[in-house]
Structures are given as C-alpha cells and as structure tokens.
C-alpha cells in the first residue's frame, strides 16, 4: 500500500476514535454529578482512570515496538467497547471506577499505540504533524457538538451503548485497513538507558507539567460551564467542541508558520503556545459567556501549538524504531501528572468552586517556558 494511503487510513481510523470518544467529552463529570457524586469522588474517578497508565505504560510502549501496532490498536478498541458497556449499566461510584479503569486502560493503550504508529509511518515531521492534528481535532470537536445534541435528545446511556458498538466495528476496521508496522527486538536494558537519558527526561518533565491542566479540566471544566456560565449540555458541547476545532486550526497554522519561516524555530512556537495556553486558561474563568468563550478559543490556540511541537519534537529527536518505548515513557509522566492533579483539583473544586483549579493550572502553564529556556541554555535538548 502506498505510504500516503497508509497514513490516510490511519488518520481516518483515529479521527473516528476521537469523534466517538469526545461525544461524551467534558459532559461526563456533569453526568456523574447528576448521579450524586461529589467533586472529590469525580476527581478520584479520573485518578483511577489514570492508574492503568502508571502500571502498564512502559510494557505497552515496548509491546508496540515488538508486535504489529494495528493488532494493539484493535485490542484497545475492544477494551474501550467493554468499558462503555459497563458505563451503560453502572449507577454507583465503585462500579464507575471499575469500568473507568477498564476504559482508561483501552484508551491509554490506544494512545500509546497510535503515537507509535504515527511516528513509524509519518514521512514529513512538520507537515504531517500539522495536517494530522488538524483532522484529529476537527473530528473531536465535531464529536463534542454532536454528542451534546445526542445526549440532549436521548440521554447518556443510549450514547454509551452506541459508542460500544462503534468501537467494536473500529476494531475490525483496524485489522483490515491499518498498515503493518516493522517490529524490533530491543532489550530492557537498552530501553532503560534510553528513557533515562537527559533528553527523554527533559521532554517528559515539560509535557508532564503541561498535563497538570488536564486534571483541572477533567474535574472542573464541565462543572464550570454548568454552574458558573449556566450552560445546557448542548451549549457545553458547542462551547467545548469549538475549542477543540480551534486546537486543530492553530496546529495547522503553526505548521504553515514554521514551514514558511515566519518563526525561527520550534522552541519559539512552544513558548508562544505555553504562554497563550496558560494566560487564557486563567482569563476564561470570567463569569461572562462571550468573554469566557473568546479566552477559551485563545487558550486552545496555545494548546494547538503545544500539540504540534510534541509531534514534531519527538519525531525529530528520537530514533523511530524505539519510539514506542520512548513515547510510552513520556505518556507515563503525563498520566502521573494528570492523575495527581485530578485528585488535587477535585478537592479544590469542592472547597473553592470550579474556577480555582482552572486558574491554578493555568499559572503552571505560564511557568513552563522558563523550564524550556533553561533546558535550551544547558543544551539538554533542541526542538529545532
């Protein structure tokens, strides 16, 4: 199969995954709250959902280097489908945590495997990063909007059932249309030396700090939209979905700016991204719908530049044949940050309301460029 067709099939399957997953999106905390769960319990739910990555991230990454990635992606879709079947029946906190753990395992397994496949089959580090991000985020944003409309019309449980069916179909498609990737056999000692190198550790620290705001958004963002801005589920979907589309657009525009040499290097794009993401993550907490929406769009522009720099940086910095283990180690750090921040921000949400977690996590994003510049000064890593 021609390389461009392989990449197109991969992009399409992942876009459907993103669309279906985001149909629930930030509305899940609203659903959990409607069942009587507290902010702390919602935080624990998302923290539990990240546990699977802490346990299995490195084995999953190493596996994606050693066996064809399409098999792993197909298996992850089956696991995600099982999680949605559990959500369909679950009504208590404990049961939701169990199936949240299962669904998260499938989701993280897919994330690590799809990252590995992207890095193994991409051909142009910057152009593929921009176009891939654009398609993925357009699909995810559309999924949020359509999911909100679906939930408003027929409710959450029907959507859980639909998602389970779609992921079973996706598992079959993954085996039929995704490319077969090359496999390598690398010793655990080699992986240990690789992931403990200064460059890998530094990149992991940067993106782990960035991931702290995921915990705030998972536990508090949907509640902020509901309790502060008083949005309906449909309005939450429109607000959030438009933001994800903006991430894709910003990523694509960042790619154009880099290829046309409007910016000097990728580090500059990263710094701009983190500053925009952090500043406007704080400002979007204003209790005015249109001001909040405007600042949210600008925050998402920053996230788009960060996402572009991640795909480009990892592809340029590290050897492709071992990329599964490397991306898994980075994902491990990001998941640890997301898990810890879910518990912390769930507690802050209970004590001070949903705005404070978003403000605190935004401040962390603003600090990251200082870490990035220090790493560049010490010549630990150059993103290009």
* pLDDT tens-digit readout, 58-117: 677 677 677 788 998 999 999 999 999 998 888 787 887 788 778 878 887 888 888 888
Higher pLDDT, 201 or 319: 201
For 352-364, give one letter per residue: b (16+ CB within 10 A) or e: ebbbbbbbbbbeb
Question: Mean per-residue pLDDT for 288-308?
Answer: 93
- What is the pLDDT averaged over residues 37-63? 71
CA–CA dist 124, 115 (Å, integer): 15
Q: What is the pTM of this model?
A: 0.81
Question: Three-state SS string across 243-290, please?
Answer: HHHHHHHHHHHHHHHHHCCCCCCHHHHHHHHHHHHHHHHHHCCCCCHH
Evaluate if residue 3 carries a pLDDT over 70.
no
Structure tokens at 358: 């978003």
Answer for the pair 307, 178: CB distance below 8 angstroms, yes or no. no
pLDDT band at 164 (very low <50, low <70, confident <90, very high): very high
CA dist 31 and 96 (Å) reads 11
Distance CA 275, CA 325 (A): 29
Q: Is the dihedral of CA 4, 8, 14, 18 positive or negative?
A: positive
Q: Does domain 3-377 have CATH number 2.70.70.10?
A: no
pLDDT band of 374, cuts 50, 70, 90: confident
> Residue 324's pLDDT is what?
67
The helix, strand and coil proportions of the chain, stated in percent and rounded to the nearest 5, come to 85, 0, 15
39, 223 contact by CB (below 8 A):
yes
Q: Any residues with CB less than 8 A from the CB of 315 and at least 6 apart, and which?
A: 119, 122, 125, 129
Instruction: Give the chain's end-to-end CA distance (angstroms, integer).
Output: 31
Range with the lowest mean pLDDT among 25-29, 67-71, 234-238, 289-293?
25-29
Tell me the backbone φ, ψ of residue 379, rounded to 5 degrees.
Answer: 60, 35
- Report, as an integer, the average pLDDT of 55-60: 69
Integer-rounded Cα Rg, in Å, for the chain is 19
Which tops the pLDDT comparison, 315 or 210?
Answer: 210
């Amino acid at each position: 199969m021609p390389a461009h067709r392989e990449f197109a099939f991969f992009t399409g399957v992942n876009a459907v995954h993103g669309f279906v997953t985001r149909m629930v999106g930030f509305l899940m905390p609203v659903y959990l709250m409607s069942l009587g769960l507290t902010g702390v319990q919602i935080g624990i739910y998302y923290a539990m959902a990240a546990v699977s990555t802490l346990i299995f991230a490195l084995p999953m990454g190493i596996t994606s280097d050693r066996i064809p990635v399409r098999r792993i992606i197909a298996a992850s879709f089956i696991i995600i489908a099982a999680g949605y079947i559990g959500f369909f029946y679950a009504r208590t906190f404990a049961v939701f945590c169990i199936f949240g753990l299962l669904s998260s395992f499938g989701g993280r397994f897919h994330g690590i495997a799809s990252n590995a496949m992207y890095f193994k089959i991409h051909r142009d580090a910057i152009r593929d990063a921009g176009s891939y991000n654009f398609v993925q985020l357009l699909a995810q944003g559309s999924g949020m909007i359509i999911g909100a409309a679906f939930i408003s019309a027929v409710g959450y449980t029907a959507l859980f059932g639909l998602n389970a069916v779609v992921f079973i179909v996706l598992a079959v498609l993954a085996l039929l249309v995704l490319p077969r990737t090359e496999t390598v056999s690398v010793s655990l000692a080699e992986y240990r030396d690789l992931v403990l190198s200064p460059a890998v550790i530094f990149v992991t620290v940067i993106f782990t700090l960035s991931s702290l705001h995921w915990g705030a958004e998972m536990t508090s963002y949907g509640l902020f939209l509901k309790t502060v801005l008083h949005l309906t589920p449909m309005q939450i979907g429109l607000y959030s979905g438009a933001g994800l589309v903006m991430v894709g657009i910003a990523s694509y525009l960042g790619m154009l700016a880099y290829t046309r040499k409007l910016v000097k290097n990728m580090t500059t794009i990263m710094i701009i991204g983190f500053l925009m993401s952090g500043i406007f993550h704080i400002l979007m907490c204003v209790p005015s719908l249109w001001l909040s929406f405007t600042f949210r769009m600008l925050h998402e522009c920053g996230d788009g530049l960060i996402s572009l720099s991640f795909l480009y940086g990892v592809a340029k910095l590290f050897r492709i044949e071992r990329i599964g283990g490397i991306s898994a180690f980075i994902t491990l750090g990001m998941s640890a940050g997301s898990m810890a921040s879910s518990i912390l921000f769930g507690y802050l949400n209970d004590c001070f309301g949903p705005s404070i977690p978003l403000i605190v996590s935004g401040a962390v994003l603003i600090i990251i460029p200082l870490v990035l510049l220090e790493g560049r000064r010490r010549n630990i890593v150059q993103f290009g």
